[in-house]
Structure 1
Amino acid sequence: MDKIRDIISENTLMGQLVTLFLVIVAIIILVWSFNKVIGRMTKRGLDPAAVPLITDLFRYSLYVIGLLVGLNIFGVNTNGILAMIGAASLAIGLALKDTLSNVASGILLLFLNPFKAGDYIECGNVKGKIGGIGLFNTTLKTTDGLYVSAPNSSLWGAPIVNFSRNKVRRLDLSVGVAYGASLDEVFDIFRKMVAAEDRFLKDPASAIFVENLADSSVNVSVRVWVRASDFPSLKREYLEKIKKLLDEGKIEIPFPQQVVYLKQD
């Protein structure tokens, strides 16, 4: 009788191990198929920024399902475990409040799509190019090459400025000239500058005007519309160019001055 029990026990254990092996093989096939599908979807237009989040959701779901199936194979009552988790769900939710908030925010960012991979955004004190949206955080790369990992909830809970969403942007160039300078000459210099640059768009039209009368200068603003991709380089280029053009035109750029009176007894 003992031998029979041993044989049955060995066969049962062998069957459990075989079943577990088949489950592992099935999981490997699922992962492989999932990666192939994601690759095809990316080629057909799926935003690469969404891939990390989708992958994380699939992976963690697979972990949970695999664990439950594995426990069932070895005769563990998973209903009791699930009941315990359900009973403790409130405590778990409170303990993982921030984590769950990041997950929910990541899903909302994925579906509402305020940005995509490669977009340059600003949110709060974070500014950079989007790398990808993960289950808990979003990665960005700053203009000075820093890697930033921002919690999804911090992005979802604050206004997002997407500098890459529109194809055109307005470039504002402001400079202060001396009160004694001729505004007609200043405006003429800027009109010629705008007309000579093909990268400045004709529509919407450019504008040149006096922005305000400051303490030491008359502040003149040049507003032009450019392609979003040209914005950073044009801004750097024309801040330098305006200085040179005003120097050539003998237009003074003043600096703040203070007059100190000394009272003698």
Structure 2
Amino acid sequence: MKRTAALVGATGGAGTTRLCLETAAVLSHVGRDVAILDAAFATQGLARHVPGRIDTDITALLTDEDDLADALLEHPVPTPGRLSLCPAYAPFERLARAKTATAAEAFERLVERTADEFDHVLIDAPPVAANQAVAAVHAADTVTLVAPASRLGADAVQGMRGRLADLGTDADTVLANRANGEHPLEDAVPIPTSDETAVEDVPASAPELDASFSPAIVAAVETVFDVSLDVEFPEERFLDIDPEEYLPDDYLPESLRS
């Protein structure tokens, strides 16, 4: 079983942070303790999922050797397992110091330290172009590329594979995000669009699994971490079914016809 995984955006805006949260939510749903480390210093997107004040962030751990416990913030959604976030939230000066080669070595040690305390560690990584992203792919047991399910995403995956090859590694898995039909990302795990009405900072897979979206996340988790999860999905209720999908128009009353 692989315990640490770097989810790397093949391109900007691929949805890596969101899939890190969904992956962690599924794992914590089955009772596993999971931490997400933020390597996307430029966007600091993980910080938007943390309620309240952030006093110690991941860049402080990398530059000032602060205590890991001070930087781990619990996600408010209730799950059987622990779901902790270690976001980047820092002024530019400290962000710059956190991108140095010395800080990258500290990042690799941080991954090891976090793995000692959690069942699984996810790294939210941007496209590989800075030291902390290089450290992320070297420190993790497995590397997963996240790309939009489009021609742009397929081209980005090809380019990122080339960059990883330059670093002496490769991607083990590709997640095709927002795959709502046919797409050009061959052999990728398809992830459909989640419910657009869901609250943005709450995972769709927590505290309860979503019958239409969570199965794809479970498939991704099992592929990324090489595990088998015993998960029961909720059945769709009859009232959730749209009758127009199953009945001809001339069968429906006038009020339900489109």
Task: Classify the TM-score, shorter chain.
Answer: under 0.3
* Higher Cα Rg, which structure: 1
Q: Which has the higher contact order (CA 8 A, sep 6+)?
A: 2
What's the TM-score, normalizing by structure 2? 0.20
> 1 or 2, which has the higher strand percentage?
1
What's the TM-score, normalizing by structure 1? 0.20
